[in-house]
Structure 1
Amino acid sequence: MFALHPPPGQQRLPTFHHQRSLPRLPVPPLRQTLDKYLKSLEPLLEEGELAGEGSKNEELQKRAAWADEFEKGIGRELQERLIDVDRASQNNWLDDNFWIKKAYHEWRAPLIVHSNWWLLFHSDTSIPANVADSPPAQGEFGEWQLRRAAWLTMRFLDFKEKVDREEIHPDSSRTGLWFNRPARSVFNLSRIPKTGCDVLSRKPALKEPGARSIMVMAKDWVYMVEVLGKDDEILRPREIEERLAEVVRDVEERVKKGEKGEAVGILSADDRDVWAKNREYLLTMSPVTNRKALTLVENCLFALCLDAYTIPAPSSSNYVPAPIEAHVRNTATSPDGLNRWYDKTLSVIVESSGRAGMMGEHSPCDALIPSIIVDYAVAEPIDVAAFTQNPTKAQTGDVIFDADTQAEPISRVWERVEWELDGKLKTEIEEAKVRAKAVVDDSEASQLWFDEYGSDWMKKTAKQSPDAYVQMALQLAFYKDQGFFSATYETASTRLFAHGRTEVIRTYSTDSRAFVRAMLDPSVSAEDRYKALSTAILSHNAFTRESSTGKGIDRHLMGLRLMLRDNEGEGVKLFTDPLFSKSQEWKLSTSGLSEGSRFHGTGFGTVWPDGYGINYLAGGELIKFGVESKYSAPNTDTQRFKQHVVDSLREMRQVCEEGAALSAKL
């Protein structure tokens, strides 16, 4: 994925070379958006007609009349207001003015599961197998844990340095357009809770407190560990490891004394308004100590969560290696939500066995950017020789733990982050623990590894686009699971535009509905099913291209609605129509990343409490799905849905093999 040097014969270009010439995100033509919106309603109305809710044609004509009325009336004025916003925006009408607020910062639900994403790192081949099989005892830290944590820290910082220096060659077909503005802004960043609407911290200068440090969380204590040298150079892995070892020794000494970490971080897992009020109280009661602590947390490079345990694999698992299920649980939330700071943009999590992953706050960037960073960070396994004073005498597992180590002395450039708490705050922490545990216990997050075929077979044999193929499998699986269709959200990236973020691909369409109906009708032949699949995939590919090239509809519709002046009594039938809301009930919320060969999996929480959140990595021979739903929802079940996905993929393979063969004979 990474090209540190240009191909032979090509000029070296700075990483963000192509970003400087990207076009502005357009405000789509009003009629274009209205026509596409009306088209997206057709499958909803077709299902409504089957359920006796009225004639599809009559209901569609009603909405078409409202659309015409809107276009000729207030819609024209809203469009011009939005164009004025665009003309006044430095980079992008959507991102400069609305997106982060409306999509993230005004949302008051806790970040844990509801908003934050997670990535599971591949196992490090340098860690001996017996460490994973027999990790340290519960409550103990591991030597390979610190080694991997130090190595990952160095690799993350190395990536940051290369991006800051623009040393990664911008392959315009992939890397250059993925490394947009957020790639520079994910470090030294934190979300700050505010009543009604959160904000992002500003990027600190390196001389400011905490800016040269990572935040290390261990048994709910917080430490700042400097990882940049006096000349801003990245410390050697051995030096980082020693500093982490000193922190662990300090934690163990505190435990021996009977001390217990005050879990202030759990406050960041709470309802955003509750956390905002508690943060204000923290600062009011101690403007010096607590202000310093929060400044350090918000300024630091990223969080490193050292967990003094390794969650054991469950006794059984469904379509995934059992250890991966435990890996999901800890990376997404930890068993109880503790030892995390959910506002940090990046949190690297390392268990006592060295198993590692990352959880992140969603608002500054989409998970694509962190996935690229992680892909780089884990591309090289731990270099054991880098952790010894004399590399020629490297010894496996020779981690510096003891004070009498023969390694050269390293200054103790780390500090405890201290808090001043009163009885009220301690009560708030205990209550936040209960609420966070309830969120954790309600989340059924799991992985599915489908290894019977992958994107290679889809392209070569089925002759289909892998992403659209997977989306059709999810449509079929959802209907089997629920017995009805749902509006479906798939993420499309608008990285082709300056400061582009995302747009919606409305996967549920007339053609995807027809495909599912064909698959469930025993009277339909394999050939006709294959034709229905091919038609649905062609339509989906067209939707994807349109959404990625500034011709999507959902961001535009949102912008138009935001132009309404409620205080002047402006209203729109099209927007108050229950079908308008139903067309955006994303009970199936999906997103695909790259092949993800260096990830064990990914995931995010469902948007609707009675829906599914699906992230997937379509590899050549293996497709990895991250599936999340709520135990409290009576109609959803993650394990059941996984089985439906497997069944759907198997049935689609049979259809492709039989249907394509029959079509070839004609």
Structure 2
Amino acid sequence: MDSILAIPLHCSSDIAGSAWVTRHFLHKKPKLPSLVCACYASNKNEDTLKYQNSLPTFPVPPLKQTLEKYLLQYKPHVSQEEYERTKQVVLEFGKHGGVGELLQNKLEQRKEETENWCYDWWTKYFLAKREPNVLTYSPCSLLYPQNFSGVDEQLQFSAKVLASLAETVSSLARHQYPPAMVMGTPLCMDQYYKSMCSCRIPAQPIDKIFYRCIDQPDAYRHVIIMRNNQFFKLDLLSPDMEPIGPADILQHLKHIVDETKEPGIAIGLLTSLQRNRWAEIYSSMAQDEMNAQSFHDIQSSIAVCCLDETETFSDEETKNQYDSRWGLCGGGSKLNSGNRWFDKGFLFAVGTHGETALYGDHTLADGVLAHAVLSQVTKFLNNNENITTDTCAGSLPPKKLEFAVDDFVNQAVEEAGLHID
């Protein structure tokens, strides 16, 4: 069944959210950082969750270590006088029988009672923030540009990425994906299952988060394709979780391009608004049954794939600036910001000239999952030549999602466009 996590507002955390763009290179023989390579060195025949029940619980650092690290991080940012004053406060806090020791004991007790004492606080922190999700809590990774000659190569590349994603989801659903390891030590696989088919839902005073683990018997099997601000629901796996082949995917993408010659209303821009404002608009729109169903189809999708029309530049510096802005937010309301759903747990965008960006909501996952997906995509791209639609198996065609739009929605979209620009 679906899970919609709604957590009370009260929380305690000093985790800092941030937005960033990182570069990942797609080579013929990819050379990933050693740590990333180590994450995928486990036996391919092992059950994905083989080590899950034997993992240690999340540790609580010793109080002395925590306070020493706090002072170390604090010192460069203040004067010597401020540092000495703060140091005395920290020493008082950490003395035997003091407040610090009392709180440390409570943390250690919580550790014994939960699998991860920090998990709820971490989740509350991100969901309670009222800043826009874009540029703050939806980090972006830019892949090395692919230098497409036009839309056909854009669709070829996108079909391969989606086919790779289908294989990854299929292997996870069947517990045939190799357990992640670092230097022979197994990692928790929880985020692999929760991030796919996940999405933030705007609400007040704290957002909710939707997810359904992809190894459930009734797991969702579709992705959302966005082009020219329009949404299409496309099954990526069969009912028995067999991946749809790249030839079928390519044929469906070509159909979507044919159906989206003119831009639609940029509903996706609404996800870039401040969270309380977006929650007001969402609540109003969701009262319409058609809107509610379209929202659900987006939220429950494995991922969102955005097919963008982008510009090219002869000057490298101008091109890099354009790519960075395009990657962070879609480039603005006049470009591709409306062709996004920034609340989605897993989203990637592909431009007509070879630009590729990967986004992920930071609430349920960190960089390990992004690196894992990029690693699988790289291998798939390097091992597959151009696709032809001659081998199509005849999978179900994509279904266009519709929204009921009135003056209220049109004004909200215009407001969001001004905000993102």
Matched, 1:94 2:118: yes
Deviation readout 1:582-637 (Å, 9 max, x if unpaired): xxxxxxxxxxxxxxxxxxxxxxxxxxxxxxxxxxxxxxxxxxxxxxxxxxxxxxxx
Structure 2 alignment gaps of length 5 or more: 1-36
Change in 2 beyond 3 A, CA 1:218/1:15: same
- Post-superposition offset of 1:314: 6.3
Q: How many residue pairs align between the two structures?
A: 378
State which of 175, 185, 190 in structure 2 corresponds to 1:181: 190
Change in 2 beyond 3 A, CA 1:64/1:360: closer
Cα distance in 1 for partners of 2:228, 2:87 equals 61
- Post-superposition offset of 1:325: 4.0
Residue of structure 2 equivalent to 1:160: 169
Cα distance in 2 for partners of 1:164, 1:174 equals 25
- Return the TM-score normalized by structure 1: 0.52
Change in 2 beyond 3 A, CA 1:218/1:68: closer
Change in 2 beyond 3 A, CA 1:410/1:380: closer
In structure 2, what residue type is equivalent to 1:153? L
Residue of structure 2 equivalent to 1:112: 134
In structure 2, what residue type is equivalent to 1:327? D
Residue of structure 2 equivalent to 1:558: none
- Post-superposition offset of 1:112: 1.1
Residue of structure 2 equivalent to 1:78: 103
Cα distance in 2 for partners of 1:27, 1:176 equals 19
Residue of structure 1 equivalent to 2:362: 362
Matched, 1:24 2:57: yes
Residue of structure 2 equivalent to 1:261: 264
- Post-superposition offset of 1:76: 3.5
Matched, 1:329 2:325: yes
- Post-superposition offset of 1:106: 1.0
- Post-superposition offset of 1:24: 1.1
Residue of structure 2 equivalent to 1:389: 390
State which of 282, 287, 292 in structure 1 corresponds to 2:285: 282
Residue of structure 2 equivalent to 1:557: none
CA contact (8 A) 1:179 1:369 kept: no
Q: Which 4+ stretches in 1 moved above 6 angstroms?
A: 204-208
Identity %: 21
Residue of structure 2 equivalent to 1:228: 237
- Post-superposition offset of 1:342: 0.3
CA contact (8 A) 1:188 1:298 kept: yes
Q: Classify the secondary structure of the residue corresponding to 1:114.
A: coil
Cα distance in 2 for partners of 1:358, 1:171 equals 20
Cα distance in 2 for partners of 1:290, 1:159 equals 30
- Post-superposition offset of 1:15: 3.0
Structure with larger RCO (C-alpha < 8 A, sep 6+):
2
* Structure of larger gyration radius: 1
Cα distance in 2 for partners of 1:75, 1:20 equals 32
- Post-superposition offset of 1:20: 2.8
Cα distance in 1 for partners of 2:86, 2:234 equals 61
Q: Classify the secondary structure of the residue corresponding to 1:235.
A: coil
Change in 2 beyond 3 A, CA 1:231/1:21: closer
- Post-superposition offset of 1:73: 3.4
Cα distance in 2 for partners of 1:409, 1:167 equals 24
CA contact (8 A) 1:314 1:325 kept: no
List aligned pairs for 1:207-606, cutoff 5 A: 211-252=220-261, 255=262, 260-284=263-287, 286=288, 288-307=289-308, 309-313=309-313, 315-317=315-317, 323-336=319-332, 337-381=337-381, 383-384=384-385, 386-389=387-390, 410=394, 412-437=396-421
Deviation readout 1:128-148 (Å, 9 max, x if unpaired): x6xx3xx44xxxxx1111111
- Post-superposition offset of 1:26: 2.5
State which of 143, 146, 157 in structure 2 corresponds to 1:148: 157
Q: Classify the secondary structure of the residue corresponding to 2:137.
A: coil
Q: CA RMSD in A?
A: 2.9
State which of 27, 31, 34 in structure 1 corresponds to 2:67: 34
Change in 2 beyond 3 A, CA 1:204/1:418: farther
Cα distance in 2 for partners of 1:44, 1:214 equals 46
Structure 1 alignment gaps of length 5 or more: 137-141, 391-407, 438-666
Cα distance in 2 for partners of 1:122, 1:226 equals 28
- Post-superposition offset of 1:184: 1.9
Matched, 1:63 2:66: no
Cα distance in 2 for partners of 1:324, 1:150 equals 25
In structure 2, what residue type is equivalent to 1:105? L
- Post-superposition offset of 1:175: 8.1
Change in 2 beyond 3 A, CA 1:72/1:378: same
